Amino acid sequence: MNQLDALKRHTTVVADTGDFLQIAQYQPRDATTNPSLILKAALKPDYAPLVDEVLARHRDRPLDERVDRLLVRFGCEILRIVPGRVSTEVDARLSFDAAATVARARRLIALYEAEGVPRARVLIKIAATWEGIRAAELLERDGIHTNLTLLFSFCQAVACADAGVQLISPFVGRIYDWHKARAGAQWDEAAMAGPNDPGVQSVARIWRHYRHFGIRTEVMGASFRNTGQILALAGCDLLTISPELLARLAATPGDVPRALDEEEARRADLPQVHYRADDEAAFRLALNDDAMATEKLAEGIRLFCADAQRLDALIRSR
């Protein structure tokens, strides 16, 4: 047995890519995309005919609609391969506008449904800002399920649970990056690996909290830098993994023990915490108190916005 097959005994494996030609060999259940991944795929010669077809068919539509139609087309192609769901992201430039996020999410769902894809197979990805969480709360009430991304802190995870979102994507690798950069020459890679990795610890804490209190929101670890981080989260509800790391897992023989213990989580003595819709000030203070989360959330939104602008430019040029 290889590590990828062994991991699937404990965790739902998700492919983190827009490059749907790479997906089938790893047999993930779901797939996640974002503007950066779609841009990366759209620049490949293999996808030029698809991109040209979509843009030619809708050349008279506004730019933002053409972008959404391209995202949905990639999503539809992915859904021909995976049996589960695809995550499609709302433009990160709307991360602080709840109403605009809701409107864009509804359009994405309408475009999928026009292609015959039921909304149950789509997760709308939204940045886990206060405004994004409030938008997700409204969408979930309408039966549009959401994936809250760029999640770096416990308070974001709690607020998402209180909002009733379907799934969260806490980032592992970017948390690891921040702590490693902060430590500088004092960083001990071996000592901080596996369960001691700060990104792994963040996701494990969220997972234990959800399990302890019976929260239905799914936890999907994301943004991995190495397979050690992935294996240390075996047992997490889902893990979304890049094709490069999927290939490493598939090429490595061996068993994967379950790392997250449900019984231990249920028995743990954990405090009850809430950040509901009327707790905005408390949420913002808690997020502000977490320097890593504050910095990485802002940086993540900036990076996604930059790639959204590059995707706009690509579409204009075609």
Which is nearest to 21 in space by CA: 52, 53, 50? 50
CA separation for the pair 175, 187 (Å, rounded): 14
Which is nearest to 105 in space by CA: 89, 118, 120? 89
Q: What is the DSSP letter of 296?
A: H
- How far is the CA of 21 from the CAs of 15, 99, 276, 290, 315, in angstroms? 12, 35, 41, 39, 21
**Annotated catalytic residue 125:** yes
CA separation for the pair 302, 318 (Å, rounded): 25
Choice among 44, 125, 180, 296 that is catalytic: 125
Which is nearest to 315 in space by CA: 28, 12, 65, 140? 65
DSSP string, 64-101: HHHHHHHHHHHHHHHHTT-SS-EEEEPPGGGTT-HHHH
**Residues marked as catalytic:** 125
